């Protein structure tokens, strides 16, 4: 398993101030005050920009390990924050099965999952958030339907076997991408266009 993470940004929504930001440009992994557990090996800095941000980005190259690996940010005091926006750009390639990527917060000694994604197949959609195009891999003769936040169909492709989807004409906002594979598997992804 192999995945990339870039620019973890936690922003106080009401005050619009960055509470935590990491761009992995220090060249040190894990970055200062960050912790990698339980495995400290496998984490690295990559000169790629595959997660939709800019180079460098965090990279974790997995191996035959059956457990949870965490890259933990420094403690962030959010007691005076009512609402927060988390921007978590990620990209992954995997071999084998069982990969789940996500975000969890520590509540004392208990981890509470905030967001998780478990790929149903070798289909990847990135970057997210996106600007002008979405990169899509692992599809053959799929049907793509992109819905606006009001539920209107804004883009539809039949028999899609490509690698990129032009979204440069779309307004900034949140969309839902429905992918129906040639094996009738349905995958739904929330896409943010910036």
For residues 137 and 98, membership in a common domain is answered with no
Which of residues 117, 152, 181 is at a domain's end? Answer: 117
Tell me the pTM: 0.51
- Three-state secondary structure call for residue 99: coil
Q: Are residues 79 and 43 in the same domain?
A: yes
The domain boundary residue, chosen from 117, 132, 149: 117
Q: How much is the average pLDDT of 8-27?
A: 64
Q: What percent of the chain has pLDDT over 70?
A: 75
Q: What is the DSSP letter of 192?
A: E
Task: With CA atoms as reference, report the closest residue to 163 among 144, 138, 183.
Answer: 138
Count of the separate structural domains present in the chain: 2
Q: Under 8 Å CB-to-CB from 138, ≥6 apart: which residues?
A: 121, 122, 123, 124
Task: Report whether pLDDT(3) > 50.
Answer: no
CATH of the domain at 132: 2.60.40.10
Q: How far is Cα 41 from Cα 60, in angstroms, rounded to an integer? A: 9
Task: Based on the fold, state whether residues 63 and 130 are members of the same structural domain.
Answer: no
* 132 and 173 both lie in a single domain: yes
Q: Are residues 98 and 53 in the same domain?
A: yes
pLDDT of residue 62: 63
Range of the domain at 188: 124-193
Mean pLDDT, residues 26-35: 87
Give the residue from 93, 117, 141 where a domain finishes: 117
Residues 147, 64 share a domain: no
Are residue 24 and residue 108 in the same domain, yes or no?
yes
CB count, 10 Å around CB of 79? Answer: 4
């Amino acid at each position: 398993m192999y995945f990339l993470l870039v620019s973890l940004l936690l922003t106080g929504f009401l005050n619009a101030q960055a509470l935590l930001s990491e761009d992995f440009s220090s060249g040190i992994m894990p970055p200062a005050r960050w912790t990698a557990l339980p495995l400290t090996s496998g984490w690295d800095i990559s000169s790629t920009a595959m997660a939709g941000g800019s180079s460098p980005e965090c990279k974790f190259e997995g191996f035959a390990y059956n457990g949870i690996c965490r890259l933990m940010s420094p403690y962030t005091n959010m007691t005076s924050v009512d609402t927060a926006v988390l921007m978590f750009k990620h990209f992954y390639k995997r071999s084998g099965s069982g990969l789940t990527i996500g975000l969890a917060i520590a509540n004392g000694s208990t981890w509470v999952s905030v967001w998780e994604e478990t790929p149903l197949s070798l289909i990847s959609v990135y970057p997210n958030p996106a600007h002008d195009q979405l990169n899509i891999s692992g599809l053959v003769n799929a049907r793509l339907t992109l819905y606006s936040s009001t539920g209107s169909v804004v883009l539809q492709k039949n028999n899609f076997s490509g690698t990129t989807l032009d979204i440069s004409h779309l307004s900034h906002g949140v969309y839902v991408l429905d992918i129906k594979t040639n094996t009738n598997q349905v995958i739904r992804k929330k896409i943010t266009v910036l």
